[in-house]
Amino acid sequence: DVKVTQSSRYLVKRTGEKVFLECVQDMDHENMFWYRQDPGLGLRLIYFSYDVKMKEKGDIPEGYSVSREKKERFSLILESASTNQTSMYLCASSRLLAADFNTDTQYFGPGTRLTVL
């Protein structure tokens, strides 16, 4: 059973603080993703990673960075938190299928609700 865990369920930070959101998966998946979910906007991809030390920008990377030092762990960093980064943050992982990309299901963690005051 795939398990994706996120370090915090709820987080409250102040404007300008550096924020770390941690995600760990236990299924040896190559791919890991960070999304944010906002009402009326659905899930938007912030960053993703295909391998250790590898990262690619998603649709809304501005104001965020990521780190993947180990295969099972993918961190999202807000260098200087702002109020417009108040959101639900979701981490996901999936296998990298060389021959058949089309069956690549993403498994999600429970989410971290971040409030920036």
Class of residue 37 by CB neighbours under 10 A (exposed 0-12, middle 13-18, buried 19+):
middle
108 lines the binding site for other proteins (CB under 8 A): yes
Contacts (Cβ under 8 Å, ≥6 apart) of 49:
31, 32, 33, 55, 56, 66, 68, 74
87 lines the binding site for other proteins (CB under 8 A): no
Size of the site for other proteins (CB under 8 A): 30
23 lines the binding site for other proteins (CB under 8 A): no
The binder of other proteins chosen from 11, 58, 61, 71 (CB under 8 A) = 58
45 lines the binding site for other proteins (CB under 8 A): yes
Q: What is the CA radius of gyration of the chain?
A: 14
Q: Which is nearer to other proteins, 79 or 99 (CB)?
A: 99
Which residues here bind other proteins, judged by CB under 8 A? 4, 9, 31, 33, 35, 40-45, 48, 50, 58, 90, 92, 94, 96-97, 101-111
